[in-house]
Structure formats: structure tokens, C-alpha cells
Structure 1
Amino acid sequence: MKPTKKPNTLKKYRESLGLSQEELSKKLNLSQGTVSRIETGRSYGKGFIIYLKFLVENDFDMNDYFRSWEGEE
């Protein structure tokens, strides 16, 4: 199952931390383009895992995030 509509959740959470894509990309050692692709659902590689790890370290509830994919195809 490939996620389709939940990437916006990542953007909203980043914004709730007060970070721009550029600021987050520097923290994660990713390009701003990679952060953008992750947030728009176009990238699920190593950068996606790094992004998710950062969110977990900042108390993002991954259970709710992945549960929201149920039923999506």
C-alpha cells in the first residue's frame, strides 16, 4: 500500500515545529527538494525514514499517521 494523502500531515507537523522546509532540510542533512518530495508523497526512500525518525524524536504519533492510511490504495 502506497500512502497518498497523508504527506500533508508531515507538512503540518513540520510547520507546528516552526520550521521551514529549508530549516528542516539542514537539520536532517537532506536537500530542500527531498523534504518537499517527502511532504508531497513523491519520495519514500532513505530521506523519508530520516524524516520520520526526526518526527518520532519530536513526539509525533506515528501510530495515528500510519493508521490513517488504512483503506487507501
Structure 2
Amino acid sequence: MKPDICACPGCICELDDAAVREGDRYFCCQACAQGHPGDRQCKDPECPCADRGKAKKSQEQQLDHSLEETFPASDPISP
């Protein structure tokens, strides 16, 4: 049985006859099914799912940068 809502995290789109099936999950469009590669938008321009993915990438990049800045491997151990 096909669900009513797209399986893309954060997507609010209801599935219709044009739903895309990937394995056992259903998505409203190909962009959602592929995880929004290249920041492709959802079929509904008002849907926040693609923006949520951008925010997650940004948070991961900030965390990586913070770790690089706060953990210099060349500092000696304090006595």
C-alpha cells in the first residue's frame, strides 16, 4: 500500500499518480527520490524539504571547521 506523504525528510507533499518509487519508499518527485542532488528543488516550490538538506550540509560544514580550529594536533599536552 502506497503511503499518503512523500518519504523525503521534511517534505510535506502528498503523493499522487506521478509518485516515484525507490525500493519500498515513495517520493513526490525525482528530486526528492534522489536526495536533492545539486540542490534541486522539490516539485512544489513552497515545500521546505530541499532547504532542510541545505541547512544540514551547512551545519556539518560548520562542525568540521570548528573541529579543525579547536583541535590542533601539533600542540603539546599540558603538564
Larger radius of gyration: 2
| Greater percentage in strand | 2
| Greater percentage in helix | 1
Structure of greater relative contact order (alpha carbons < 8 Å, 6+ residues apart)? 1
TM-score, shorter chain, exceeding 0.5: no
Q: How does the TM-score come out when normalised to structure 2? A: 0.30
